[in-house]
Amino acid sequence: MNIVLLGAPGAGKGTQAARLVSEEGLCHISTGDILRAAVKNETELGKKAKEYMDAGELVPDELIIDLMRERIQQPDTEKGVILDGFPRTTTQAVALDGMLNELGRPLDVAILIDVDPEVIVKRLSSRRMCRACGAIGTEADGASCKACGGEMYQRDDDNEKTVRNRLEVYEKSTSPLIDYYRGCELLVSIDGDRDPDEVYADVKAAL
Ligand code: ADP
Ligand code: ZN
């Protein structure tokens, strides 16, 4: 099973992906997580990506496509992948089709988690993330991670100004993928403005 999760930043892709990983044993690939790790470790990729990320802009397609081409060939992807945060442009989507075709593992479904932009701005300004394990929580959860006890922090790009820019970038560059996947008859759209358990029930039904 190869799944693309589509949706605006903060729509809940990471939360749903985490459940799919623990319940379906799929391999989760989040380009955002890979890039944040690269920035933290000050790799060549991280140095190139940081400015774009801090501004809420997209990292250039060539960098992302090279990164994914390498990642998708790792042995842990054989049972299936959940792609979270990739593709984000039509160029990336076309490149992904090429990579999956080469591997003989076509995409099964593109799930859109649909949430109103104003709901997103509120969600992201109270979102927190665990420095140690990457778990996602909210301001209300307090200072330590429920899963591992690590420190919860606010991502640099989760401030209101950057969030608004990320939403604009999403509208302009990423939302055309909704029609792209609809055209391939792979799109399933789910109302993401509900309790995560209800959203997950629909995600499972889409598989
Ligand atoms: P969110 O979905 O909450 O916006 P992500 O963690 O997926 O956040 O991504 C954070 C940032 O990393 C993006 O704003 C962008 O700068 C960069 N990024 C992640 N994935 C991609 C991608 N596929 N193409 C270009 N840039 C990306
Ligand atoms: Zn943690």
CA of 64 to the centre of ligand 1 (A): 10
DSSP state of 48: H
Residue 93's CB is within 10 A of a number of other CB atoms, namely: 22
Indicate yes or no: pTM above 0.95: no
Strand partners, 5: 84, 111
13 part of the active site: yes
The residue behind tokens 């930043």 is: 9
pLDDT in tens, the chain (207 residues): 999 999 999 999 999 999 999 898 899 999 999 999 999 999 999 999 999 999 999 999 999 999 999 999 999 999 899 999 999 999 999 999 999 999 999 999 999 999 998 899 999 999 999 999 999 999 999 999 999 999 999 998 899 889 999 999 999 999 999 999 999 999 999 999 999 999 999 999 999
Nearest CA to ligand 1 atom 3: 9
User: Which residue in the block uniquely carries the two structure tokens 């000050």?
Assistant: 42
Give me ligand 1 centre to Cα 32, in Å: 5
Residue nearest to atom 16 of ligand 1 (CA): 53
- Gap between the Cα atoms of 121 and 30, Å rounded: 21
